Chain A
Amino acid sequence: MTSRILVSGGGADAAVQAARVALPLAKEIGAAVEAVLVGSAAPDADSQLVSELSRLTDKIHFFRVPESTPLTGAPLADALERAAADGAGLLVLGDHHFSREAAARVALRLGGPCSSMCEAITATGDGDIRIERSVYGGVALGAFKLEGSPAVCVLAPGVSAEVEGADAAADVVVHDLEPTAAAQALVKTGEEVLPRTVDLAGAKLVVSVGRGFVKPEDIAMAEELATLLNGELGCSRPIAEDFKWLPQERLVGLTGTSVAPDLYLALGISGQVQHLAGIKGAKVVAAVNNDPKCPMTRNADYVLVADLYKVLPALLDELRSRGNGG
């Protein structure tokens, strides 16, 4: 294990996530943390990203690519490969689609092991890296030793660490990068801003609906409940993907968004393992389901084995009578 950890990610938030998680490990083993960013124009030194990254890292390498290069995982892999040429024992990438592509490519080029969905990264006594990641859709966690160097790790969604950054700002070093063929082969032809009406990941309270709802119109009741409780509306996979009653952005679980609210209220959700994996961060889980044997009722703090069509109106009456108006 060399004394240099590179942190990066497919997006700005991902790079910051990687830096936060890498910092405690770097302190423990006495390694420097250096960030790797890619773009066509150097980042604004005053931007929140650069200021946050510069407090968490010792140096920021910015790799400038031609404007025509779509910033997918391919140019990021090229940048990481270049940065790692000066020696690196560990590459940590924050959770993002493009991080996974970059990790695959750079691990193969550098001959290191690669794992994604990492929930914890630690150093073994003999200088190797050990990670914990979920397996079988979240049924179990596996502890794996990464054999070889550099180890390339992509973090799972929501993984973080309490860290205190330094006051001093890291230097930003700008490099010009000619992307490899795989990156140059892509052409960005359009961009659509997606309306972000939901912030499930940051919600303090989530009311979530599953297959227990028999008609799409009935979801209005859950929506009213979410409004009365100042929460967001979420759903399970069949509701978003099979029935398409709610948009993908409301999907809770490994396939959709991992949530960490104070309260997760699961209405008519059976609790498949991928769904449960996405609500691990919830402080309290309450479940309403008429099946006492479904996984959701076995993985909740408060369980109402009942017909949601009886419980939900009662819950709405109770809240309306309390004058909860949001």
Chain B
Amino acid sequence: MRIIVCAKHVADSTEIRYDETSAQPVLNNVPTKISDYDRNALEAAVTIKEQHADCKVEVLMVGGAAAQKTLKEAVAMGADLGYLVEGGWEDPFNPLISARVLTRAIEEMGVPDMVFCGAYSEDGYSGVTGAAIAELLGLPYLGPVTAIDLTEEGLVGRLPQPGVAWSVGAQFPCVLGIDSAMNVPRLPTVLQTMKVKGDRLRSLSLADVGLVAANLHADLPGLRLEHFMSGAVQRKGVRLEGSPQEMVSELMARLAEEGVLA
């Protein structure tokens, strides 16, 4: 059994701030990491590997030199191999381009029994890439799943929706979007990350996966970014002072004035 986990190299969204003057999110010096939801996908794959001796887990990431450290951390969670596609990451909010690059890489690596993606990415939160990979590979997609039970020739995934959870079976090969509620991802230690040697890491250029950087955007319909705006809601920011009792009285008075207490 083979699982490929697609993991996104992202800027840590909790460290990004929006600069009103330049009307840009500030990404300089923001630490990068594995997108949170992809860590759930990796945890799900590594858990299966621990229970099935014949299972191999490969991590697939797209990114430049800075992504090598992130890939190493991902492999250190317990994967056998890590693949880095060096190109095609310039448009983090266009899931169809990401899916095209990832799909070509998966075809180059050999289509596995299961492709796992985080149900969402931390930066774009599209929730589209996994399904787009399934479409491009001509495979069924299940997601977001909160549990997986392996069967003889496939799996049954749990698909929660408002008010109901379905159990849906799929045969291999298939693509899964892993929900963050499925597990709590392990944190690799610094030592585990250091122990990931070069022979477990592979690089692929865009040319290796049959893509030409210049055509990537021309071939696929684009999402052209025009400008950014602040995502924050303007709040009053009134600091209440005094003892806890005084603060509580003041708060109740203010909320009554606002008319928001039933």
Contacts and interface: CB of A to CB of B under 8 A. Distances in A.
Contacts of B261: 205, 229, 263
A136 B237 contact: no
Contacts of B223: 113, 115, 144-147
Interface string B166-189: 111111001000001100100000
A254 B224 CA distance: 24
Interface stretch (B48-56, B196-204, B240-248): B240-248
Nearest to A116: B126
Contact of A189 (B128, B169, B258): B169
Contacts of A108: 96, 99, 132, 135-136
A190 B238 contact: no
Nearest to A231: B262
Nearest to B229: A141
Nearest to A191: B166
A100 B133 CA distance: 13
Contacts, number: 275
A107 B11 CA distance: 27
Contacts of B116: none
B14 A273 contact: yes
Given A273-B14, A311-B248, A143 B229 contact: yes
Chain B, interface size: which category?
35 or more
Contact of A182 (B11, B135, B240, B258): B135
For chain A, what secondary structure do more than half of its interface residues adopt (helix, strand, loop), or is it mixed? mixed
B143 A101 contact: yes
Contacts of B248: 304, 311, 314-315, 318
B233 A137 contact: no
Interface of B: 11, 13-14, 16-18, 24-25, 93-96, 99, 120, 122-129, 131-132, 134-136, 138-144, 156, 159-171, 174, 180-181, 184, 221-233, 235-240, 244-245, 247-249, 251-252, 254-255, 258-262
Given A191-B167, A276-B232, A302-B238, 8 more contacts: A13-B162, A77-B135, A104-B135, A114-B128, A136-B11, A139-B25, A186-B142, A284-B258
